[in-house]
């Protein structure tokens, strides 16, 4: 557990807290920078090299995974038809694989039936009206989403923070000013996609009231100690307990980042750029074995789904409804 000796002199206590804050900020920035290096450079470099070395095998695995996804959707659709429409399995398979609704199919001719009393022009008019209504709904949805995004990107968090903490709100606003492209203090060295990813991470941390994660991102972005200001808050307005709690949050954040780094060290992509020669060949052999095992496991799943669909039998058109 983290302890700070409490001196009798308040000024000495404040100086010790300020020194501790600066030390922890530097450590947070260093840990976060190492994690960012792994995520932004080492892992992508490893995955690109792996695709060059084991491209055909990876494509085979991706194709199997895609087929599994399709078979699962088909199996789920069949089960839904069995429960809701009370069809037998062969009829459910026919409906699930057909492009037209079974209720509108004439089994004698295999063509869609026209509802009685409607002419072709009226049917086309109704279909056109339905399409226009769907387009209007999509436009309203896009406009609503755009307005929500613009309000979120303005740098102002919700009126009340998730945990009612003014420290959380202040730090969130400081990061929003740092990441918003129209802000005069926005960062310029990162690509737009990376800034957007950081902004989404900041929003997720704020919504979950994760003060430790916000502190780590702030330290990495350099939103740290300024003249009379620390992490988006004026130091003079903080009480002793608030400043002490902020130091404890930094300690917790450092501990979490260290734990995360300890797990990343075991990843094959860790310090991948320094791996050459014999070590890289061993890395390739290990990746090939893991890929082969994963392909075998996914093939078993695909075979099981195929057996389930084949066991249903030949698709059978359902009887038309009366």
Six-digit token string for 42 = 């080492």
Per-residue pLDDT of 190-220, as tens digits, reads 777 777 888 888 888 888 888 888 888 888 8
Higher-pLDDT residue of 100, 279: 279
What single DSSP character describes residue 104? G
Around Cβ 167, how many Cβ atoms within 10 Å?
21
Residues in the chain: 322
Q: What is the pLDDT of residues 161-193, one digit of tens each?
A: 444 467 788 888 888 888 876 666 666 667 777
Cα–Cα distances in Å, from 141 out to 39, 135, 144, 146, 153?
A: 34, 10, 5, 9, 18
> What percent of the chain stands above pLDDT 90?
21
Least confident residue range of 34-43, 143-152, 195-204, 259-268:
143-152
| Surface-to-core class of residue 68, CB atoms within 10 Å of its CB (0-12 exposed, 13-18 middle, 19+ buried) | middle
- Measure CA 180 to chain center: 20
Task: Assess whether pLDDT exceeds 90 at residue 307.
Answer: yes
Question: pTM for this one?
Answer: 0.60
The C-alpha atoms of residue 190 and residue 36 are separated, in whole angstroms, by: 12
Q: Give the CA distances from residue 279 to residues 123, 270, 289, in Å, rounded to whole numbers and listed in that order.
A: 68, 13, 16
């Amino acid at each position: 557990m983290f302890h700070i000796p409490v001196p009798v002199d308040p000024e000495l206590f404040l100086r010790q807290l300020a020194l501790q804050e600066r030390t922890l900020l530097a450590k947070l920035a260093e840990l976060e920078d190492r994690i960012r290096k792994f995520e932004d450079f080492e892992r992508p470099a490893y995955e690109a090299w792996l695709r060059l070395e084991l491209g055909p095998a990876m494509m085979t695995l991706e194709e199997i995974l895609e087929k599994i996804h399709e078979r699962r959707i088909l199996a789920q659709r069949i089960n839904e038809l069995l429960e809701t429409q009370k069809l037998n399995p062969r009829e459910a398979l026919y409906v699930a694989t057909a492009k037209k609704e079974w209720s509108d199919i004439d089994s004698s001719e295999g063509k869609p039936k026209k509802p009685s009393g409607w002419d072709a022009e009226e049917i086309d008019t109704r279909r056109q009206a339905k399409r226009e209504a769907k387009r209007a709904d999509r436009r309203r949805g896009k406009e609503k989403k755009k307005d929500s995004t613009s309000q979120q990107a303005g740098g102002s968090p919700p009126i009340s923070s998730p945990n009612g903490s003014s420290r959380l709100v202040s730090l969130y606003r400081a990061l929003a000013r740092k990441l918003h492209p129209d802000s005069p203090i926005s960062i310029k060295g990162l690509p737009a996609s990376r800034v957007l990813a950081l902004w989404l991470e900041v929003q997720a941390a704020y919504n979950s009231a994760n003060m430790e994660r916000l502190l780590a991102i702030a330290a990495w972005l350099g939103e740290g100690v300024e003249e009379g200001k620390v992490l988006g808050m004026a130091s003079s307005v903080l009480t002793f307990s608030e400043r002490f709690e902020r130091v404890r949050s930094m300690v917790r954040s450092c501990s979490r980042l260290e734990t995360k780094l300890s797990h990343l060290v075991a990843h094959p992509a860790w310090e991948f750029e320094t791996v050459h020669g014999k070590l890289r060949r061993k890395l390739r052999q290990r990746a090939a074995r893991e890929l082969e095992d994963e392909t075998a496991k996914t093939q078993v799943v695909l075979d099981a789904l195929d057996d389930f669909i084949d066991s249903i039998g030949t698709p059978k058109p359902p009887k038309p409804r009366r």
